[in-house]
Amino acid sequence: MKQIISSENIPIKLWLDDIEEGALGQARNLANLPFVYKHIAVMPDAHFGYGMPIGGVMATEDVIIPNAVGVDIGCGMCAMQTSLQDLSSDKLKEIMAGIRKTIPLGFKHHKHAQDKSRMPGGRDGAPLSSLPVISREYTNALTQLGTLGGGNHFIEIQKGSDGHIWIMVHSGSRNLGYRVANYYNRLAIELNSRWGTKIPKSWQLAFLPLSSEPGRQYRQEMEFCVEFALANRKLMMERVQDVIAAVAAPVTFSGFINIAHNYAAMETHFSRNVIVHRKGATSAREGELGIIPGSQGTPSYIVRGRGNTDSFTSCSHGAGRKMGRREAQRRLDLEAETSRLDKQGILHSIRHKKDLDEAAGAYKDIDKVVEEQIDLVEVVVSLRPLAVVKG
């Protein structure tokens, strides 16, 4: 931990030396909510978000806040080790082509519905008919299963410090999670206005009581989306494995790791049952394996949690942005960014000025971010990028 701010109703504990003013202002808002518990934790990759800073961790009592989870519910990372120890440039190119052919990228979906058996069921025995958004979007979701999406989502082939080739996938709940998030955030805003709550609307932190029907429904639909996001990553991982096996047999795969970074969950902290909201932060319980990805062209890390209670047993979800998307497209130099990747021999996805929003220069220094949370996690394997597919 780098610093503690004690000027608000509860402390704000930060794992970074400097934080942009907008994100700090959002953390201050969180610390003054009437139902927030113990303290706010801010991870070293923190930056400005909607309502709650990306890289924020907050525990609440008896309420849940849709905007403190975000629109890409269940977004997260998965990684898997292969038995391969090397891949030639030609084979990497063949693998990248196979991935692009097999997995829809960006806004694209499958032309046909995927196998229903891969979809999660209702939570706690709740039939899907009781979940208004899921039941309405279920058929569309079947075509989104096994698709990458856009933004900062990626599929990456990496070389590990353990000598093995690794696969990493970053994706979320696609349009399904977006629909659930927007539906319940709008509902929370409407209800908070009706109730006359004193939380300023400008904070973008409308809440739902857990004991209310909207609160119960949001929690169930949110948890469905978390499971859907995992199913989505699993299917993509399987199809990447198939591509690699077709190009570089014989090969085996082991050690599947999954970690989500946009969700809320009931957990026990400081002897109290609370709802922990992690928005751009991941669980880091003692001994738990996790993933902290770098930006395109920088290392990623497999980590093991230390179970630090000050962070509500959490850690960062990545490097974190230091520039907004439009700012990066405006300020970064295309030739300099591509040259940096080319010199490292990375097969990358930066082709045009519009791609600079996902260039390494738009992100914080991943090594510094990892160093700032050494009390939260220990590094198990470092992963150097070899080839990247972006949404």
- N- to C-terminal Cα distance for the chain? 34
* Distance between CA atoms of residues 241 and 247, nearest Å: 10
Catalytic residues: 317
The candidate with the shortest Cα–Cα distance to 110, out of 224, 230, 222, 235, is 235
Upstream peptide bond of 53 is cis (omega within 30 degrees of 0): no
Give the helix, strand, coil percentages of the chain, each rounded to 5: 35, 25, 35
Cβ distance 169 to 75 under 8 Å? Answer: no
Residue 89 is which amino acid? Answer: S
Token pair 């780098």 is found at 2
What gap in Å lies between CA 323 and CA 335, rounded to an integer? 18
Beta-strand pair 3-5/12-14: antiparallel
> Would you give the DSSP letter of residue 83?
S
Tell me the CA distances in angstroms from 15 to 28, 153, 253, one per residue in order: 15, 25, 35
How would you label 131-151 residue by residue, b for 16+ Cβ within 10 Å and e otherwise?
bebbeebbeebbbbbbbbbeb
Upper half-sphere CA count for residue 243 (Cβ side, 13 Å): 22
CB 171 within 8 A of CB 229: yes
The conformational region for residue 196 under phi > 0 = left, psi -120 to 50 = alpha, else beta, is left
If we measure between CA atoms, which residue out of 61, 202, 223 comes closest to residue 128? 223
